[in-house]
């Protein structure tokens, strides 16, 4: 899936463009592409201002801005691919250590398994949006368990257990490693989702849309005067 912005309000302008001489069209199209590119930059800036995700919107833009010839003229659009976004990419903060009731296994020098009856743990709180920004879907876990940091494949990830228990099978003398209860990596709203919400609900994007229409209109007027 992807999020696509179609500039439907440019339809009449597009029809006018198709009727223009090739020389004039070659002058106008780059100006329109530039105006829409500026619109993308504004959207990218607003997404970055609204939300704490570190990756930039341009990283999921499909292709470069281009115009395609249709039966009614020229068609313009911006397309953003819906790529899963690991929750670790958002701003987060670890809690102070707190005590949990959990048996942590360890091996003695003689090879026997013993348990530490109490362990200290830290949960993670994610702050996905900045103050005053449009709301986005909350990340929830099926088990309702706290989020925690883990290193997987040499990279930090934000995880959550799928069950209340830490162990599916407690470590034993025959199986010192035991079997951990299932857990999964958590993902937050994708950049495409953030772009769609920002495009729809951010008031500054309304101004940007009006500005885009003015720039395209002016480009068309300049082309017709050539």
- Tens of each residue's pLDDT in the chain, 226 residues: 799 998 766 666 666 666 666 666 677 778 888 888 999 999 999 999 999 999 999 999 996 554 544 444 456 789 999 999 999 999 999 887 766 666 666 667 777 767 666 566 788 999 999 999 999 988 776 656 788 888 888 999 999 888 877 778 877 667 777 788 888 999 999 999 999 999 999 999 999 999 988 888 787 777 666 5
Whether 105 and 159 map to the same domain: the answer is: yes
For residues 86 and 188, give the distance between their C-alpha atoms in angstroms, rounded to a whole number. 6
Whether 113 and 99 map to the same domain: the answer is: yes
DSSP 66: -
pLDDT reported for residue 126? 92
Express each pLDDT in 95-110 by its tens digit.
Answer: 877 666 666 666 677 7
> Are 197 and 129 contacting, i.e. CB atoms less than 8 angstroms apart?
no
Whether 174 and 206 map to the same domain: the answer is: no
Whether 38 and 113 map to the same domain: the answer is: no
pLDDT reported for residue 55? 95
> How many domains does the chain fold into?
2
Whether 62 and 76 map to the same domain: the answer is: yes
Whether 181 and 196 map to the same domain: the answer is: no
> Are 157 and 150 contacting, i.e. CB atoms less than 8 angstroms apart?
yes
Express each pLDDT in 38-57 by its tens digit.
Answer: 999 999 999 999 999 999 99
Whether 95 and 171 map to the same domain: the answer is: yes
For residues 142 and 163, give the distance between their C-alpha atoms in angstroms, rounded to a whole number. 8
pLDDT reported for residue 106? 66
Q: Tell me the Ramachandran region of residue 20: left when phi exceeds 0, alpha when psi lies from -120 to 50, beta otherwise.
A: beta
Whether 91 and 76 map to the same domain: the answer is: no
Give the global pTM: 0.80
DSSP E strands: which ranges in 82-123?
85-86, 91-94, 98-107, 113-121
Residue ranges making up the domain that contains 33: 2-83+190-224
pLDDT reported for residue 201? 96
Whether 113 and 126 map to the same domain: the answer is: yes
> Are 108 and 36 contacting, i.e. CB atoms less than 8 angstroms apart?
no
Burial 102-133, CB ≥16 within 10 A → b, else e: eeebeeeeeeebeeeeeeeeebbebebbeeeb
Whether 64 and 117 map to the same domain: the answer is: no
Structure tokens at 62: 């499909």
pLDDT reported for residue 76? 74
In sequence order, what are the residues at sequence separation of 6 or more whose Cβ sits closer than 8 angstroms to the Cβ of residue 192? 1, 2, 3, 60, 80, 81, 82, 83
Bridge-based pairing of strands 179-180 and 167-169 is antiparallel
Whether 54 and 116 map to the same domain: the answer is: no
pLDDT reported for residue 109? 73
Whether 53 and 116 map to the same domain: the answer is: no
pLDDT reported for residue 192? 97
């Amino acid at each position: 899936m992807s999020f696509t912005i179609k500039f439907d309000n440019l339809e009449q302008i597009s029809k006018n463009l198709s009727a223009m001489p090739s020389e004039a069209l070659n002058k106008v199209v780059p100006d329109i592409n530039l105006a829409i590119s500026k619109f993308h930059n504004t959207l990218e800036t607003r997404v970055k201002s609204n939300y704490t995700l570190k990756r930039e919107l341009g990283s999921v833009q499909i292709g470069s801005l281009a115009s395609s010839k249709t039966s009614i003229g020229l068609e313009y659009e911006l397309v953003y691919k819906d790529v899963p976004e690991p929750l670790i990419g958002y701003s987060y903060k670890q809690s102070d250590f707190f005590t949990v009731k959990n048996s942590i296994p360890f091996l003695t020098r003689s090879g026997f398994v013993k348990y530490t009856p109490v362990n200290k743990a830290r949960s993670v709180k994610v702050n996905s949006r900045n103050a005053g920004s449009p709301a986005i879907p909350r990340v929830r876990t099926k088990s309702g368990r706290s989020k925690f940091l883990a290193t997987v494949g040499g990279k930090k990830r934000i995880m959550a257990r799928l069950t209340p228990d830490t162990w599916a099978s407690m470590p034993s003398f025959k199986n010192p490693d035991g079997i951990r209860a299932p857990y999964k990596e958590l993902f937050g709203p994708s950049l495409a989702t953030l772009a769609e919400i920002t495009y729809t609900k951010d008031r500054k994007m309304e101004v940007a849309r009006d500005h885009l229409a003015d720039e395209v209109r002016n480009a068309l007027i300049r082309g017709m005067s050539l």
